[in-house]
Structure 1
């Protein structure tokens, strides 16, 4: 008998939560071993970006416990042409379904059309494709980048109140859905706040080390900056490292996006003022469940939305991941 450990419990919980949120049960005849095993090709934008790395690791962990599917990982290194080639390789190999976490929102229309023509369903994961490309996917598993930006803006507005404030932004990889909408929507929200000024926008490419340099650039441009809004918490930690080196960690507040333990601890310790949650556990579990269901011909909703909420030191202890 297989020993029941944390990984097995996690996979079982993922399936249970899927059903609770309106998923359809797999049509299984007898044991999982009696099913034909399906192959899921997984194309990640990067192997090194913190969230992407964690997301891939969680999917690998879940997949190792499955008897009904196997996974094959591909990493594009933020190269859209390379990712397109990898997708065509999956199509040529006739995988049963594809999970795509795209380098950018607009580069994959043709290859997605090819996948659909080949009868291979595609689950768009984490970073959403543009509306034209979405015509050729089966479902999207991920959050609303605009909603996350609204919550980040609310954190900033709540912090400043009626006081004047200067905010710098450190963005993710250019052209990706989160880079576009986590800035665009945040700026739209700030348009109604005459007391808050956006003093700079710098590219951090989801890298902690790049975010350190980006934060330094913002400090040089505007020494009186009051807050840095980062597109993810990995970059937020990089920004904090720079503030600490410059002796400004108590003067400049930081907002990030993500809910890994390191970032929640940073909120509790006062290193980060606030975060907007984004659960990699949720996205990993739902992506695999959706990919298997799609491979077996079952219908899915257009969007399995990763819930998010704004967290500060005041409410961080009450937060529970959607997979808990």
Structure 2
């Protein structure tokens, strides 16, 4: 009898240990993959791969998607790729295995997606590209794109600098460009649009261009070095607010007044950049709207129903200037 009780106790203990191990394993997995909304399996399921959480803008973009999924009663399988393309591809394969209705992702770089997109197509799962564009051998591998018009942002930046220095003659205008992640469509577009805007004005010279990877720390590091290497900088064109804030820090360390000693144009329109614009540390802020969640969910519903969607859809964005009255501007929320 004692032996039977011992066996039962041992069996129960083993069961508890197995259950505890499974719970811990599931909890670790949930740190990477988050299910939002208690929608039954016969509801719409969206697999979403985000590139990371490198900035306030990116965090707000993620928040917008999570909130919109809840409001739309769409079950969300969310993955943070931590700035690695291989993590995104791995996540997308897991979405295919789970047989989600739609896959959406923010591509960290523009190329290298054809194989995984073909796998999704073979599985009958439509793919929505958002925020950053991609280059593929066959555009039919994905359903459509929604996000920013990065080339227009670049042209807006160029136009502001042209207007700002329109009264200066008989000398070149020297510009530093701090660009985003190399190979990302948004960095390529913002660079291309900027150069398009300056094409007919050879007196405006980009004397140095370097990737800051959209990181504040790299913006600071690059600007600290540039201020030692270059004299007579007229303007800085920064591809995002995070890098711009690092640039401002570096300028103050050299006793330079941002926005006055050097004109600064930045993209994103985070709250910190708007405040810098109010203080005169930045001269122009070009919005890149992170609140794409509602539009993504509407497109997801259409794709899940087998409907076609626009090939390219751009979100509404504004440009804020140093001469604007920003007193009535609502808080950005990011």
Indicate the TM-score class for this superposition, using the shorter chain for normalisation: 0.7 to 0.9
Q: 1:76 touches 1:83 (CA, 8 Å); kept in 2? A: yes
Unaligned runs of 5+ in 2: 1-38
| Cα offsets for 1:74-98 (capped at 9, x unmatched) | 1222222221111111111111111
Q: Which residue of 2 aligns with 1:237?
A: 245
Decide whether aligned partners of structure 1 residues 166 and 180 sit closer, same or farther in structure 2, where only a CA change above 3 A counts: same
What secondary structure does 1:236 align onto? helix
Task: Check whether the contact 1:155–1:274 (CA below 8 A) recurs between aligned residues.
Answer: yes
Hey, what does 1:205 align to over in structure 2? 213
Give the match for residue 15 of structure 1: none
**What per-residue deviation string (whole Å, max 9, x for no partner) do you get for residues 205-246 of structure 1?**
111111111112221221211211111112112211111222
Tell which structure's C-alpha radius of gyration is larger: 2
**Are the counterparts in 1 of residues 214 and 240 from structure 2 also a CA contact under 8 Å?**
yes
> 1:150 aligns to what?
155
Do structure 1's residue 313 and structure 2's residue 318 form an aligned pair?
A: no
- What RMSD in Å do the two structures reach over aligned CA positions? 2.4
Aligned residues: 289
* Pairing 1:49-198 to 2, within 5 Å after superposition: 49-66=55-72, 68-132=73-137, 134-163=139-168, 164-198=172-206
Conservation of the 8 A alpha-carbon contact between 2:158 and 2:194? yes
| Structure 1 segments of 4+ aligned residues over 4 angstroms from their partners | 318-321
SS in 1 for 2:145: strand
Q: Equivalents in 1 of 2:48, 2:75: separation in Å?
A: 10
Deviates more, 1:102-111 or 1:300-309: 300-309
Question: Structure 1: which 5+ runs fail to align?
Answer: 1-32
Which is worse superposed, 169-178 or 263-272? 263-272
Most deviating of 203-212 and 293-302: 293-302
1:267 aligns with 277
1:22-50 deviations in Å (ceiling 9; x for gaps)? xxxxxxxxxxx899421111101223244
> Partners of 2:137 and 2:57 in 1: how far apart?
26
2:303 to 285, 294, 307: 294
1:133, distance to aligned residue in structure 2 (A): 5.4
Which TM-score applies when normalising by structure 1?
0.82
Whole-angstrom distance in 1 between the partners of 2:325 and 2:123:
46
* In 1: Cα distance, 2:177 partner to 2:163 partner: 17
- How many angstroms apart in 2 are the aligned matches of 1:53 and 1:211? 19
CA distance in 2, matches of 1:198, 1:46: 30
SS at 1:64 equivalent: helix
TM-score when normalising by structure 2: 0.80
